[in-house]
C-alpha cells in the first residue's frame, strides 16, 4: 500500500474546521494545501480514518470534500483502490473544456478566437525573446523538428495541423507568464481542432497552395527562433504579429461563418 502523502502534524484542526459548512471549509483547506505545494502532484492522501481524526470530521463530510476536489480535477479517485485519493496538479487543459463550452454558448465565432490569439501570442513572443533561455530555444526547435518530420511523412494528415498548433502552444508556454499560459490554454483546444480541420480541408482542394503555405509557415517559425536566439524581443513581437495576421486570414478562408460550437462538435 502506498505511503501517505504527508505527515499529519500533532493536534487536530477540528476547532477551525467544524462549522455548519464543514465540508466546504475542509475542501478549502485541502485545496489550499494542494495549491501551496504542501500536497504535491502524485501524492496520496492518508487513509480516511486518519483524515477524519486529524480534521475532526465525519466520513460523509470527508467524502463530500474529496468529491468536490475530484470535480475540480485536483484529486483522482480510483473506485475500489486501497491507495486513496491521488493528488493531481491541473494544467491549462482543465479550463479548456468548460471555457470552450462557455464560448460556444455565447455564440463566439472562429474569427473572435483567432483575434484573441493575436492579442496573446505576440506578447508571448516578446517575452520568450526577452528571456532568451536555452530551454525555450530547445523546445521551440523540438516542436519545429516534429512539424517538419510530419510534413515529410504525410502533408494531408490531421497530425500536421496538430503539430502547427503545438508550436504556437510552445511559444506561449515558454513566455514564462503563467497568466498568459492559462489564458491561451482556454482556447488551445479550439485552435488545435480547427487547424487540423483547416489544413486537411484546404489540402484536399488546393494541395499546391497549401504546401506553399506550409513552407512559408516553417520559414516563419525558423525566423522566430532566430530572433529568440538573438534576444531581439521587439522584432520578435512585430514579426510574430505579422505572421499571425497572415495565418489567421488563411485559417478563416472557407470558415468565415464558423463558430466555436461547430469546431467542438
Distance CA 121, CA 110 (A): 16
Instruction: Report domain 92-252's class.
Output: mainly alpha
Mean pLDDT check: name the lowest of 6-20, 92-106, 164-178, 236-250. Answer: 6-20
Q: Where in the chain is the domain with CATH 1.20.120.530?
A: 92-252
Helix or strand (DSSP H, E) at 75: strand 75-76
Classify domain 20-87 at the CATH topology level. Answer: Arc Repressor Mutant, subunit A (1.10.10)
More confident residue, 190 or 78: 190
Measured distance CA(262)–CA(96) in Å, rounded: 16
Chain segment 16-53, per-residue pLDDT in tens: 454 448 889 999 999 888 888 888 888 888 888 899 99
For the chain, where do the domains classified as CATH 1.10.10.10 start and end? 20-87
- Residues 151, 166 contacting (CB under 8 angstroms): no
Residue 145 pLDDT: 97
Looking only at the bridges linking them, the beta strands covering 86-87 and 75-76 are: antiparallel
d(CA 248, CA 179): 23
The grid coordinates of residue 65 equal 470534500
Amino acid at each position: 500500500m502506498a505511503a501517505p502523502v504527508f505527515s499529519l502534524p500533532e493536534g487536530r484542526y477540528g476547532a477551525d474546521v467544524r462549522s455548519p459548512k464543514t465540508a466546504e471549509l475542509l475542501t478549502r483547506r485541502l485545496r489550499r494545501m494542494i495549491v501551496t505545494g504542501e500536497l504535491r502532484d502524485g501524492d496520496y492522501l492518508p487513509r480516511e480514518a486518519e483524515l477524519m481524526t486529524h480534521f475532526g470530521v465525519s466520513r460523509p463530510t470527508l467524502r463530500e470534500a474529496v468529491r468536490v476536489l475530484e470535480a475540480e480535477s485536483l484529486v483522482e479517485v480510483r473506485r475500489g483502490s486501497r491507495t486513496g485519493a491521488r493528488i493531481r496538479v491541473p494544467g491549462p487543459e482543465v479550463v479548456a473544456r468548460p471555457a470552450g463550452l462557455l464560448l460556444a454558448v455565447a455564440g463566439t465565432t472562429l474569427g473572435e478566437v483567432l483575434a484573441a490569439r493575436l492579442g496573446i501570442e505576440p506578447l508571448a513572443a516578446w517575452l520568450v525573446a526577452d528571456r532568451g533561455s536555452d530551454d525555450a530555444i530547445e523546445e521551440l526547435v523540438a516542436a519545429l523538428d516534429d512539424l517538419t518530420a510530419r510534413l515529410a511523412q504525410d502533408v494531408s494528415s490531421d497530425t500536421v495541423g496538430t503539430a502547427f498548433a503545438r508550436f504556437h502552444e510552445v511559444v506561449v508556454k515558454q513566455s514564462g507568464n503563467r497568466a498568459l499560459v492559462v489564458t491561451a490554454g482556454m482556447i488551445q483546444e479550439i485552435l488545435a481542432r480547427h487547424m487540423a480541420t483547416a489544413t486537411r480541408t484546404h489540402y484536399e482542394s488546393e494541395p499546391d497552395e497549401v504546401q506553399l503555405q506550409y513552407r512559408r509557415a516553417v520559414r516563419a517559425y525558423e525566423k522566430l527562433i532566430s530572433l529568440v536566439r538573438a534576444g531581439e524581443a521587439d522584432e520578435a513581437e512585430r514579426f510574430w504579429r505579422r505572421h499571425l495576421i497572415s495565418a489567421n486570414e488563411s485559417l478563416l478562408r472557407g470558415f468565415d461563418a464558423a463558430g466555436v460550437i461547430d469546431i467542438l462538435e
